[in-house]
Amino acid sequence: MLSAVVLYEMTHLSPGVDPAESLVRTLSSLVRANVEGLLRDVAIAGPFSQGLEIIADHAGCGLIEATGEQEWLREAIEAARGPHILLLRSGFAPQQGFIEEAGDFLQRPPRASGADVAMLRAAPERLFERMFPGAAPLAGLIAPRDRCLEGSATRLAGLAQFLRPATTLRTHARRVA
């Protein structure tokens, strides 16, 4: 089972998009994964004074607030209860098939360095990303909690570089905002 942490971000949103709405849409995309037993718990991680406590209360999930992204990322990883973590950027929702693929990934034994870490990429939107799917933005990671704690990354992308995922999931995360 996974502990899911939705990382509250505003940097990748289009002008005029409400960051709180994109967070709510990301959280709602995880309901089925929670019902089907893939997720153990869900938390929101973000900055103070953004009204996240209201969203967390309504969604029935945990809340980690800190001054900077490095702090809330670290605190969220420490607070996770499961042995594996799904770190997901707000504004993205895993597409159909994610639950099955993530479940299969967690079931298989790691064979090499980085084989216990999987990357979830955003669905390709631009021509370049369609031609080179590896160029699509990072939307999330599935990784062992202990390995995430070893890294001192300041952002999700830095943590991905540290963990060096050997697997990129075939399913993508679509942009919801």
Which domains are present in the chain? Answer: 2-175 (3.90.550.10)
Query: What digits encode the pLDDT tens for the residues 125-152?
Result: 888 877 887 778 899 999 999 888 887 6
Q: Are 92 and 169 in contact (CB under 8 A)?
A: no
Q: Are 35 and 114 in contact (CB under 8 A)?
A: no
pLDDT of res. 63: 94
**Mean pLDDT of all residues belonging to the chain:** 87
pLDDT of res. 112: 62
pLDDT of res. 114: 63
Reference 63, options 14, 34, 118, 23; nearest CA is 23
Query: What digits encode the pLDDT tens for the residues 51-110?
Result: 899 999 999 999 999 888 888 888 999 999 989 999 999 999 999 999 999 999 999 876
* pTM reported for the whole predicted model: 0.90
